Amino acid sequence: MDLPGHGHSSWLPLGITYHSIDFVSLLLRIMDYFKWDKISMICHSMSSINGFVFSALFPEKVDMMVGLDGLKPLARSSEKVVDYYKDSMKNIIMYDDRINKLEPPCYEWNELVERLHNGTNKSVNREACKFLLKRAIRPSKHDSQKYYFARDSRLKKKHFYTFSEDVPLEMARRINCPYMFIKASQSPYYESRKHFDTTLEVMKQNPHFEFYEVEGSHHVHLNDPMKVAPIINSFIRKWRSS
């Protein structure tokens, strides 16, 4: 699923801010549209965090959940939350003002690959970049040999979750559906390791929870799918047959 502002999905109107919790409510809208009672999710990074939140709020609507290298919303102190909102709001207005009808900067294919490769701190290898670029670019209207990134630039300053540590812990306690989380060994935690470990211990109280760590970068599933595919397939077969 391409979230709003990503891939082939449309952008939000000017003046409307992207917020992570809205991505969670979007799942409910999609379920309602297709008349689904439950969903199964395989999510990576930010979407894995969204899947965690959805599984906590609506465990009865989750058939199974597989999260790749994004366990939960980051724990933030009250001081950081206040500063975050101040800076975020100023930047959001600035990005709104920057958007116009002119075509964004355009690049040839090889340069797109390099920009994506380096933009992820080389987490995505060059060969795997082509899979992300398929849904991330649009052809230039002025040069048939060039493309531009179609992602809404305002996503750089979206409102992300601003929870203190106790909120993700309470969410973890409420998750009782079949749930697998895979951590990439070379990927940072983006917060104190203790917050990750504490949440992981709570999640292990769910008898349907499985945790694995695999060698690789944040995008290990793209660079070397066979490091995660057998684990995921086994998990799916286990719960599909039950």
Q: What is the number of domains present in the chain?
A: 2
Is the torsion defined by CA of 34, 40, 42, 47 positive or negative? positive
pTM above 0.75, yes or no: yes
Q: Which domain holds residue 58?
A: 40-74+163-240
Among candidates 201, 240, 232, 200, which has minimal Cα distance to 214?
Answer: 232
* Model pLDDT for residues 122-159, shown as the tens digit of each residue: 999 999 999 999 999 999 999 999 999 999 988 888 88
Give the residue from 162, 177, 196 where a domain finishes.
Answer: 162
Residues 32 and 45 in one domain: no
φ, ψ of residue 132 in degrees (nearest 5) = -75, -40
C-alpha–C-alpha distance, residues 56 and 170, integer Å: 8
C-alpha–C-alpha distance, residues 182 and 214, integer Å: 7
* Model pLDDT for residues 1-57, shown as the tens digit of each residue: 999 999 999 999 988 889 999 999 999 999 999 999 999 999 999 999 999 999 999
Share of the chain above pLDDT 70, in %: 99
Per the CB < 8 A criterion, the answer to whether 20 and 49 are in contact is yes
C-alpha–C-alpha distance, residues 198 and 207, integer Å: 17
> DSSP secondary-structure letter at 153?
G
Residues 31 and 106 in one domain: yes
Asked whether the predicted pLDDT for residue 100 surpasses 80, the reply is no
What is the structure's pLDDT at 190?
87
Residues 88 and 181 in one domain: no
What is the structure's pLDDT at 101?
66
* Mean pLDDT, residues 101-122: 93
Give the residue from 105, 130, 162 where a domain finishes.
Answer: 162
Share of the chain above pLDDT 90, in %: 78
CATH code of the domain covering residue 69: 3.40.50.1820
* Model pLDDT for residues 203-213, shown as the tens digit of each residue: 999 999 999 99
Asked whether the predicted pLDDT for residue 102 surpasses 90, the reply is no
Nearest 5°: CA angle at 112, between 229 and 183?
A: 30
Give the residue from 162, 178, 205 where a domain finishes.
Answer: 162
Tell me if residue 198 falls in helix, strand or coil.
helix
